[in-house]
Amino acid sequence: MTEPLRLSKRMSELGLCSRREADEWIARGWVRVDGKVVSELGSKVLPSQKITVERQAAAEQSKRVTVLINKPVGYVSGQAEDGYKPAVTLVSPENRWADDPSPERFHPTQLRSLVPAGRLDIDSVGLLVLTQDGRIAKQLIGEDTSIEKEYLVRVQYTKPGRLPDAELRKLNHGLWMDGKPLLPAKVSWQNDDQLRFVLKEGKKRQIRRMCDMVGLKVIGLKRVRIGRVKLGDLPPGQWRYLRPDEQF
């Protein structure tokens, strides 16, 4: 017999919402299992049972915004630390990109629970996603995400000559980190001092650590794409809304 699962976990697995949203909806009486309202947190269901949500939940979810920022150096992705500001402080009417095609109007409530879906360290720049939508967060940073992230990385070889081809092959596949093999990556030269990295995982400071292992020092790192969404012409320090027709 199949084991029962927590209702919130099952809703997240089905892609209906994040676990946090699920708990909120259950508490509000917006979730039905086999047609019956279930409002007790921690309730369990069998995988065969049918879960439906009320229209209010879908309406609430559709109001949640996702924002793309071109993060400059000196901002942290998440919580403020060591006197550095979090990237969310850039989301203000003054910093909105003048060419943002979205008809969405800015409202301060959009800053509520607007959290980073993935991170860029303080010295890195480029595309950072902040979202109120648990489905997008799960898609980008969930355990089983397979969404590509593309980076342009300016490097300096710390040994004489050029980086040997064998070391470049190691960057593509063959390095270990934190006791585990890294997933295959796509790493190629863009020009004499710049590499293009395409990764499907995002360990802390992963690219800097990978480069370090083969004798490369990272001079600059910029994320230019997440899935099918590109940084494009968005200027540094500015932001825009994710358009309804854009999918990661």
Q: Could you read off the pLDDT of 50-83 as tens digits, one per residue?
A: 999 998 887 777 678 999 999 999 999 987 777 8
pTM for the model: 0.79
Q: CA separation (Å) from 68 to 114, 129, 220? A: 11, 5, 20
| Model pLDDT for residues 83-115, shown as the tens digit of each residue | 889 999 999 999 999 999 998 889 888 888 888
Please report the pLDDT score of residue 1 as a whole number.
56
Residue-wise DSSP of 145-205 = ----EEEEEEEEESSSS---HHHHHHHHTT-EETTEEPPP-EEEEEETTEEEEEES---TT
| Amino acid, res. 41 | L
Please report the pLDDT score of residue 168 as a whole number.
97
Please report the pLDDT score of residue 108 as a whole number.
85
Name beta bridge partners: 241. 67
User: For the chain, which ranges sit under pLDDT 50?
Assistant: none
Candidates 109, 66, 72, 108; CA nearest to 87 is 72
Three-class HEC string of 202-222: CCCCHHHHHHHHCCEEEEEEE
Q: What is the rounded distance in angstroms from the CA atom of residue 199 to the CA atom of residue 197?
A: 6
Please report the pLDDT score of residue 96 as a whole number.
97
Please report the pLDDT score of residue 78 as a whole number.
85
Catalytic positions: 121
To the nearest whole percent, how much of the chain has pLDDT over 90? Answer: 71
Contact 130, 91 (CB under 8 A): yes
For 65, the token pair is 């915004």
Please report the pLDDT score of residue 79 as a whole number.
79
Q: What is the rounded distance in angstroms from the CA atom of residue 207 to the CA atom of residue 21?
A: 33
Contact 90, 69 (CB under 8 A): yes
Question: Longest C-alpha distance within the chain, in Å?
Answer: 70
Please report the pLDDT score of residue 223 as a whole number.
97
Q: Which domains does the chain have, with CATH numbers?
A: 5-62 (3.10.290.10), 66-144+229-241 (3.30.70.580), 149-226 (3.30.2350.10)
Q: Where are the alpha helices (DSSP H) in 47-126?
A: 55-62
